[in-house]
Amino acid sequence: MRTTRTVPVLALVTVGSLFLTPHSAVADRPAPTREPAAPDDRAARAPESAAQRALAADTPAKGEVRGYPREQVLSPDPENPADKSLKLGLTPYHAIAPKLNDLQRLGDRVSVEVAGRSAGGHRLYLVTVTAPESARRARAQERMRELIENAPAAAAKSREIKAGYKTPVFFNNNIHGNEWEGTDASLKLIERLATAEDPGTRDLLARSRLYFNITANPDGRIAGTRANANGFDLNRDFVTASQPEAHAMRQIMLDKQPAVMLDLHGYVNGTLIEPTTPPHGENYEYDLFLKNSYANALGMEAAVNGLGHTPQKDGVQPAQIPFRDQEEGWDDWPPIFTPQYAAYHGTVAAHTIEIPLRVNNTAYDTLPESELRRRSAINTDVAGAALSAALDFVQRRGTALIADQIEAFRRGATGATQVPVSPEAVPGVPGIGPEDVYTTTFPRAYVIPGGTTAASRLVDHLIANDVRVTRATRAFQLGGHTYPQGSYVVDLRQPKRGMANVLLADGRDISDKVSVMYDISGWSLGKLWGAEVTPVTSGNLGALPLRPVTAATPVGRVALRSDLRLRLTDPNEIAALNHLLRQGVPVRQAADGSALVPGSARAQAAQAARTYDVVFEGTRQTGGTELRRVRVAAAVTAGELFALREMNFDVTPVSTAVLNAGFDWSAADVLFVSAGLDHDGLTPAARTGLAAFLTGHGLVGRGAVGAALNSAAGLLPAKPVEGNGDANGVVRLVNSNGGPDHGFVYAPMWFTDLGPGVRVEESYATGNPLLSGHWRPDGNGAGGPADAAGEAAVVSGPQAVLFGTEPLFRDHPKGEFAQLGRALFTMAHPHNG
């Protein structure tokens, strides 16, 4: 849903560009007026002494090793005639390495490094374009970058930073593999920058470092898929960072600390240029973000419209800026998107750019190749115009951008209050209203008691996201509570407080703010990752016995004597159990659900404890039922498949087509269904085979598809009730089996009319079960959280377990994983009644 936001309309004034030929406004659209540009601050950046001028010019001393360029010869990839880029006339993945080798040979401005590898094993190329730097100069840049983050008050006064710091700019391309053209636009821009000798280019590269992630998703680029080889949408993975590509992009943002970034996508006609509609992320400094992002968007809009494409001539609509042109439906609320995630690392102008003409999916398969190539060429030009206009913006505003980045870090480090957006706080941005005001109250700190696998996982994840964490060397009191030695403390007076808070806070119920959200609306790691996390509103942290840590203290250990007990409440514990079962270790399950391991397997348990960082306690318990390896036939989402394999389950993907082709059920012990298996679509033979399997084995079902199969097979007498399909977020739960007290929903479901033998494992809390996110009733007034309150969220019986929550969503709610893992063990060999 995208409706028009009502704002004052102004007339567009196209400015000249160092990189673009000026054009007049497109005649067929009344163009909004561009606010007067901020004063050109290049003069303010001029070196103030001969020594500083020499530093800025950066002529390396004779014989000195350069910091840049950092050239390397890339080995070629095998030619792949099946690469989907070829049909569009674009650069196939196998041609990128040779192209980058050629670009490095053009001069001394282009450097290439391998930033990582994709899930499918392909190299991720990071290209840096900048004026040459000596090793001394490169060290000075790094020192200034660290000063900006770690000592922002000093950085704000630094004449060296003002005169000589190079503005970092990050261009991220092709994160969705079948949105190709950003890669080609970046390669063209790099080639131009590599050799251009005009004063504008020389000045830009002397005062900036430009970083290009050439293709963030080579797996998808080659295959023509949105997702990577693991089936993940990488532009939804930044909270969890489950994928190697997300790790690489995260590290680029941490290491380079860009002030400006563009994430190039497709396809929205006309070209969509963020900033966005409400709701806006409440944890970053949105006043600084909006001021710069809107100004940059105006320049990119002028550049794109200035290319002269029109609806009549080539089917291209004028560009749009959601903040100005739409009411809702394209928000920047969750930190799962690349630009929004970048904001937590000091990026004060960040944009998703959606280029206009569709060439993927059905269009790719049905349009003539000539039409696809025409569209791709236009898209490449549009992407190039946006890139070049962003460089003009950096050229004009570099010093101001760095000043705002410093200010964002200063607010975090000092605990300063946020500045709500308003026409006075953000002059030059039209249409700001109360619907745009989102701020939060930061706690003084968070305390995470240590000693558990979940706590260690969470702490390591915080550190990987550049959040500063300390650990107590002895017990301490804070906020009226006593915490044990080894507890972790996250002081919110740190430069990246927004990053810490957006991960750990409960979040907010924003159901009354807008009618629809673009994607998820709640994601709290404090509530969903299984660790105890306590916000503290006040206290003197300086007096506490705290030491900074660079990694969590491992907790894995094995009791020295007796038999062993492994609690199965964490995904790592499930993984360790499956590891032992693969080794042939005899394991039994106790009445309380834990796993009992004989003391004779202490050596294998010790190895598992180290590998999975889990605790094997001593126990005198005896008896229990035998546990065996579980082979899962899974018709599930990519995120669920990934999570199952993380827990070391042996998984075979199945679907309606696989079963119809003749599936060997002897290779499975349990069936897990959430997607892709339609009972009505099965052949008679496939139905017979499925029914025979389910007579001796169980079903774990999730969501509408799992519940439908359960009903068709007649396993568990329970009526599924679907909530609003647009709803999602963190919910409060009530458990009968000691499970998690919070979970995640995405199109929530609950169960009524429960028959004999059905057990309620988990129910939605009474009152309003939604803690944070967006959950309204649907159009007829039903399906809201009030209808779900108190109803069964997870039910079980002799032959099935059904989930109305999303326990493995996008590999994210770690605290729920073990609950589903235990269900798979239970249903692998159910006791038929």
Residues 808 and 738 in one domain: yes
Q: Which of 578, 612, 627 is the last residue of a domain?
A: 627
Residue 72 lies in a domain: no
Contact predicate 805/812, CB 8 Å:
no
Q: Which residues of the chain have pLDDT under 50?
A: 1-65, 832-833
- pLDDT per position as a tens digit, 146-179: 999 999 999 999 999 999 999 999 999 999 999 9
Contact predicate 761/500, CB 8 Å:
no
Residues 325 and 232 in one domain: yes
Residue 244 lies in a domain: yes
Could you count the other beta carbons within 10 Å of the beta carbon of residue 86? Answer: 15
φ and ψ of 685, to 5 deg: -65, -40
Contact predicate 700/801, CB 8 Å:
yes
Residues 306 and 347 in one domain: yes
Convert 146-187 into a string of H (helix), E (strand) and C (coil): HHHHHCHHHHHHCHHHHHHCCEEEEEEECCCCCCCHHHHHHH
The CA-atom distances, in angstroms, between 637 and each of 232, 241, 455, 673, 811 are 9, 17, 27, 9, 10
Residues 279 and 314 in one domain: yes
**Domain, as residue range, for 597:** 557-627
The per-residue pLDDT for 831 is 53
Residue 38 lies in a domain: no
The per-residue pLDDT for 455 is 98
Residues 210 and 151 in one domain: yes
Residue 65 lies in a domain: no
Contact predicate 462/239, CB 8 Å:
no
In the block, residue with structure tokens 């992002």? 293
Residue 169 lies in a domain: yes
Q: Which tokens belong to 131?
A: 């004026």
Residue 310 lies in a domain: yes
Residue 211 lies in a domain: yes
Whole-number Å distance between alpha carbons of 648 and 821 = 10
Q: 715-736: buried (b, 16+ CB within 10 Å) or exposed (e) per residue? A: bbbbebbbbbebbbbbbbbebe
CATH code for the domain in which residue 235 is found: 3.40.630.10
Residues 364 and 341 in one domain: yes
CATH code for the domain in which residue 614 is found: 3.30.70
Whole-number Å distance between alpha carbons of 125 and 39 = 36
Q: Which tokens belong to 439?
A: 């701020």
The CA-atom distances, in angstroms, between 39 and each of 35, 42, 386 are 12, 9, 21
Residues 674 and 727 in one domain: yes
Whole-number Å distance between alpha carbons of 468 and 470 = 7
- pLDDT per position as a tens digit, 19-65: 443 332 322 323 332 233 333 333 333 333 333 333 333 344 444 43
Whole-number Å distance between alpha carbons of 707 and 801 = 10
Q: How many residues does the chain have?
A: 833
φ and ψ of 517, to 5 deg: -120, 150
Angle formed by the axes of helices 199-207 and 181-195, to 10°? 110
Residues 658 and 511 in one domain: no
Residues 747 and 777 in one domain: yes
Q: Considering only the C-alpha atoms of the chain, give the largest distance between any 2 of them, rounded to a whole number of Å.
A: 89
Is the bond leading into 69 cis (omega within 30 degrees of zero)?
yes
Q: Which of 414, 429, 452 is the last residue of a domain?
A: 414
Residues 785 and 817 in one domain: yes
Whole-number Å distance between alpha carbons of 85 and 221 = 7
Structural domain count, the chain? 4
Residues 109 and 234 in one domain: yes
Whole-number Å distance between alpha carbons of 481 and 379 = 58
Contact predicate 118/124, CB 8 Å:
yes
Any catalytic annotation for residue 354?
yes
Q: Which among 149, 245, 328, 354 is annotated as catalytic?
A: 354
Residues 401 and 453 in one domain: no
Residue 24 lies in a domain: no
CATH code for the domain in which residue 709 is found: 3.40.50.880
Q: Which of 603, 627, 651 is the last residue of a domain?
A: 627
